[in-house]
Amino acid sequence: MGDPRISVVNERLKEIRNIIAVSSGKGGVGKSLTASILALALVKKGYNIGLFDLDFTSPSTHIILGIEGVQPREEKGIIPPKVHGLEYMSIVYYTSNYALPLRGEDVSNALIELLSITKWGKLDFLIIDMPPGIGDATLDIIRLIKNIGFLVVTTPSQLAFETVRKLVTLLKELNVRIIGVVENMKMNKSEFIQQQVKSLRVAVLGGISFDAKIEKSIGNTVSLLKTSFAKELEQTLEKLGF
């Protein structure tokens, strides 16, 4: 007859005003860094924020935010701990940093399980850090989460942008909301990507420069918020009116 978990997913998310998936067709473009710093910046603005790492095979946001030694609480479901002012959920609570080799169907199943048992509080934003590409996780959140919005990350490279073009086209065909495209790791003032994004009729959310010093701030949220990356991302938030 069926999988009962699906029915309860939107019930679990109903007290969240805005759900944003940080996504890209390409790997390594800065999705996790963007999702993490976006979450921190929104906390700083006084919003109630959740961050959900949905990259099950290569989770990274716990490293970026220096999250260690916390576990969710169990109470008729699981309640994500609040760390650095945000409700944080990741598969690493359960894998204790060992490898988790998953095939597509397993990814789907784990994703549905987490969506159906995680009890988020009342949130203004839930930020989701996505794995790269348009595979199972992406298709599942589109299928399961009503009103999800996509924040798409590219780099100045044509190689990245061509994958983003495909992602954006797919999202449009499926009538999924696209918040806009962020161009990360900018090295110069080229407007090539911005023009391309405009021709897709999607909002250009501005650029983030390549920051050779960012690595030193990984694991330290105070220091992350002081980076040029954070400053530039915050300007993007102004544009969005967040």
- Please tell me the count of residues contacting another protein according to CB under 8 A: 34
Residue keyed to tokens 């909301």 = 177
Residue 127 has φ and ψ, to the nearest 5°, of -100, 130
Residue 96 interacting with another protein (CB under 8 A): yes
Residue 139 interacting with another protein (CB under 8 A): no
From Mg ion, another protein, ligand ATP, none, which one binds at residue 75 (CB under 5 to 8 Å depending on kind)?
another protein
Closest by Cα among 209, 242, 239 to 227: 209
Q: Which stretch binds another protein (CB under 8 A): 88-96, 125-133, 196-204, 205-213?
A: 88-96
Report whether 116 contacts 8 (CB < 8 A).
yes
Q: Which residue in the set 26, 31, 84, 165 belongs to the binding site for Mg ion (CB under 5 A)?
A: 31
Residue 28 interacting with ligand ATP (CB under 6 A): yes
From ligand ATP, another protein, Mg ion, none, which one binds at residue 123 (CB under 5 to 8 Å depending on kind)?
none
Residue 214 interacting with ligand ATP (CB under 6 A): yes
Binding to another protein (CB under 8 A): which residues in 1-40? 1-8, 11
Indicate the pairing of strand 123-129 with strand 49-53.
parallel
Full DSSP string of 185-228? EE-S---HHHHHHHHTT--EEEEEE--TTHHHHTT-HHHHTTSH
Provide the minimum distance between the beta carbon of 186 and ligand ATP in the complex, in angstroms, as a whole number.
8
Full DSSP string of 107-125? HHHHHHHHHHHB---SEEE
- Other CB atoms within a 10 A radius of the CB of residue 81 amount to 16
* Residue ranges binding another protein (CB under 8 A): 1-8, 11, 56, 74-78, 91, 94-96, 98-103, 106-107, 109-110, 113-114, 116-117, 119
